[in-house]
Structure 1
């Protein structure tokens, strides 16, 4: 059973788009987030002088449908970030996130371990492209320190989406066969399918935590329609090589799992026209449309789900 968590946010200047600090009760970690335009001010804070790790995040100019992330570490984070700010090879980033420890017990060895793990996790989640040229070597730590650092990582994975970074969130993958196999998390995972007898395509997806991930191998139509508000998104996926031609000119195919913010966006990319995703997607297990399932959940008395 999933338990609630409390995250404390502090808007340093009262603005939700300015400098933000974030903490979790009974966790020694501290997160500092700043837009690049406020970097000089943020780096004057004491947190930036500690040993820690940092993320430089922005749109990937080579693949606009994904973010780009640079993961780094340093004895004094401020010095490393200052050098990156002057590096023309890292002009992509628009926000920085600094993760340190309030009790100053995070060592250089810990930071190097965390850097390696966060590069691994970012690549595994596949929500952003990693800007690090070489994957940093993992620092060998005592077993107890590894356990502490893995707990530290778990907290960072909770807190980063709260402050607007989702590059560490794992994507839903594959198909769950029974409701008993669903992971014990805060969300419900739904296996979905969308087919068309007329156009011949079939797509499978997973909805989890408010996102819908269309699975690799799913097919969409190449038939062109006048109205598709997601036409630019579809074209970007084609440009990125994530939606590719098939041997049959009537279809395109997803070359990898692709996550969308809404079921309608996913459906429109597949059908190549405006589509109500809530009625187009059906649950694999029950055959209900996504809308029918969502409506049925509203009828469950409070406390019964």
Structure 2
């Protein structure tokens, strides 16, 4: 069971869509997020004048539901954000509508630290493939002492916990464990963060797909097979499938009879995943089954509740 974390959020103007800050207890890092319409307020904050990292986020017009992102660093982050707020013909960037600033509460981040963080975060974002980066390549980080590298890796680990709380999933890896998790025992207080392996079979079509739930996300694994085309009614899942085909996530098999996942793909729900695999709407809670036991995803999901109720009744 993973140790708990306390993420403290503060809504600076009292609204969930405005400027907000995020901190983790005993972490020197500090995060400020704001929509572009609140950039003026963000630039006035003392954190924005420090050395740090910034992330610009916006919608990707060439991808349904996709995102564009830019990761940068600066000795004075506010100056870089101001530059990026200009029109593109004046050296700015037009795509973004939200800015995230990562700095240190103790103001101990140096230029070398910021360069290291920038390089590592760009690499992590490229590996996660959650958004299209407008950065070219990750810059070479400045050399750091071994102790500083350790500190920066801890900084990154904490940021990867806090940022998804703000809806920023840019660095969340889609890599999942290939070792099935142990079944939930009656004396456990929580399910493991990584689920057992699930599989979905369409025997008549020779289709076998595998998936795993990791940190609350349902991921279909690389190498999973799916129907060669959509056979259901016109809906959002069909458009999602077209997007996955266009971006190379789903490609034809060598014989052209099926499609195969070329990489791990996160879905909003098990039903979304089963719809893409089967090429039509389907109930993922019953279609996906635990590979080792044959229990449905729904049964696996409810087992902790049933154990808790049984324990309370006995």
Deviations 1:215-254 (A, max 9, x none): 1221111261236541111111112222222344442222
Q: Which stretch shifts more, 150-159 or 80-89? A: 80-89
Equivalent position to 1:189, from 184, 192, 195? 195
The equivalent of 1:63 in structure 2 is 63
The equivalent of 1:293 in structure 2 is 300
> Aligned in 2, Cα 1:24/1:233: closer, same or farther, shift over 3 Å?
same
Q: Which stretch shifts more, 162-171 or 119-128? A: 119-128
Is residue 210–residue 262 contact of structure 1 (8 Å, CA) maintained in 2?
Answer: no
Q: Secondary structure at the match of 1:40?
A: helix
The alpha carbon displacement at 1:114 in A equals 0.8
TM-score w.r.t. structure 1 length? 0.91
The alpha carbon displacement at 1:190 in A equals 2.5
Deviations 1:117-149 (A, max 9, x none): 111111222222222113111111111211211
Is residue 193–residue 282 contact of structure 1 (8 Å, CA) maintained in 2?
Answer: yes
Is residue 112–residue 141 contact of structure 2 (8 Å, CA) maintained in 1?
Answer: no
Equivalent position to 1:117, from 120, 129, 132? 120
The alpha carbon displacement at 1:66 in A equals 3.4
Equivalent position to 2:279, from 268, 272, 279? 272
Task: Give the root-mean-square deviation of aligned CA atoms.
Answer: 2.3
Distance 2:48 2:219 in 1: 36
> Aligned in 2, Cα 1:207/1:21: closer, same or farther, shift over 3 Å?
same
The equivalent of 1:215 in structure 2 is 221
Is 1:237 paired with 2:244? yes
The equivalent of 1:258 in structure 2 is 265
Is residue 65–residue 237 contact of structure 1 (8 Å, CA) maintained in 2?
Answer: no
Deviations 1:141-183 (A, max 9, x none): 1112112111111111111011110111121336215639xxx
Is residue 181–residue 195 contact of structure 2 (8 Å, CA) maintained in 1?
Answer: no
Is residue 180–residue 196 contact of structure 2 (8 Å, CA) maintained in 1?
Answer: no
The alpha carbon displacement at 1:204 in A equals 1.1
Q: Tell me the number of residue pairs that the alignment of Structure 1 and Structure 2 aligns.
A: 301
Is residue 194–residue 212 contact of structure 2 (8 Å, CA) maintained in 1?
Answer: no
Deviations 1:177-198 (A, max 9, x none): 5639xxx996232311101112
Distance 2:177 2:155 in 1: 28
The equivalent of 1:5 in structure 2 is 5
The equivalent of 2:143 in structure 1 is 140
The alpha carbon displacement at 1:14 in A equals 0.7
> Aligned in 2, Cα 1:303/1:52: closer, same or farther, shift over 3 Å?
farther
Could you tell me which runs of 5 or more consecutive residues in structure 1 were left unpaired when the two chains were aligned.
none
Distance 2:285 2:105 in 1: 45
Deviations 1:63-89 (A, max 9, x none): 345322211100000111111122527
TM-score w.r.t. structure 2 length? 0.89
Distance 2:111 2:259 in 1: 48
